Structure 1
Amino acid sequence: MDLDKLERIIKNEKWEELIGFFDAINEDYLKTVEKYDLFRISFYTWYVMAEWGRLSPKLEKCLNQAENILLDAFKIATEKYSNDGDYLWFYGYLISVFPEHFVSVYSDYLKAENTGKQMLNVASQMQYTLAIIFNEKFSEKDVLESGKKDLENIFDKSTEVYNYFIEMIELIESENKK
C-alpha cells in the first residue's frame, strides 16, 4: 500500500479517493505492516479526524472509517509494542491531544486523556527524548535537536507526520524564546 499516495489524497482533500483507500485497509492488513508504517497510518487517520472533524455529512463515512482504522491500528500496536518507547510516545501524544478519538477504548474522555498522559510519563521515565519534549515541553536545545534526529529515524523527512512533529517541536522552541 502506498502511504505516500494516502498522504497526497489527504493533503488534497480528495475524500472520495480517501474512502476508497480506507476501504482497502483492514485489520488483517494492519497486522502485516511494520511498526512505523502502522504509526503513519494511525497518524493520517487521527489527523483527518482532528483536522476536519465532523464538518459535513459528505465526510461522515470517511471519518467513521478513519476512526475504525485508528482504533484497529492502536489495538495491534498495543499488542506488539506496548513496552516500546516509540509506541508510548507516539500513541501517548495522539491520545492525550485528542482523547475523544479513543473514548471507545477507555470508556470516557478523562480516562483516555489520563492514559495518554501516563503513556508519555512512562516514556519520559525511560528517557525517551520525544516523550520528554512533548510531555514536559522540554526546552534545552540539545534535547530538542536530539528529538528532531529521532524523528528522522522514525519518519521520512518528506512525510506529513514528520513535518507535523517538527512544527510542534519548533513551536515549543519559539515559546521558550519568549
Structure 2
Amino acid sequence: MGHPRVGLGVVNAVSSGLWAEVRREGVLRAQEYARGVAVAPTATVGPAAGSGTTIDFWPDTEIFETTRCSFAVLAERFRQVAFLNPGLSITLTDERPAGEARAVMFRHPDGVRDFVAALGAEAGSLLPQDVTAFEREDPRMAGTMEVAFLWSGSREERTHSFANSLATRQGGTHVDGFRDGVAAAVTAYAPRRG
C-alpha cells in the first residue's frame, strides 16, 4: 500500500474504509467511503482553523494478503514530498500498537535546498554546506523547475531527480539537460579563472 504513483482514488478503491476531512476557508468538511463508494454526500462538520487535509484509510483484507503498512517507507515518502513542496506540512501518525503511538512531522520551508543540505549532512560531507539553488518557471514546459546542488569534494555523483513530485530513478532528459548545463558552465568558467 502507498505506492507513490497512485492517487487517492486508487487508495480509496482498495480500502475497506476511508475517512477524508478537508479544512478550508474556515470550514471543516468530511466524507466517509466504504470500499471506494461514498457512504453519504460530503458534509459540513463545522468551523475549522487553518487549512489542510486528513486522510484515514484501512487497506481491504479481501484484496491484500497483508495490510500492515511500513512506517519507515511512508515516512521516507512523506519526507520527500515535504522537501519537494516548500511550506507543506505533513504529519504521519502510527497508532500501532495501541498506547504506543508515534508521530513525525515533515516541513521544509526551503524545499529542495533543504533536501540537498540534508543529503550532504547524511553523507558526512566535510566541506561547508554551501547549497546552490534556483527556481525557474518556463512557459514552454508549463511548470516550474527547481534545482539545488552541493559540491561535495567527492568524485562520485549522487543525483536525486523528480518530475511532478515523483522520483525519476532512471534520470531523464531533465537530468541530462542539467548535467550538460553544469558541464558547459564549468567549462566556460574554468579558463577565465585559470
TM bucket (normalised to shorter chain) is: 0.3 to 0.5
Rg larger in 1 or in 2? 2
Q: Report the structure, 1 or 2, having the larger helix content.
A: 1
TM-score (norm 2): 0.31
Q: Report the structure, 1 or 2, having the larger strand content.
A: 2
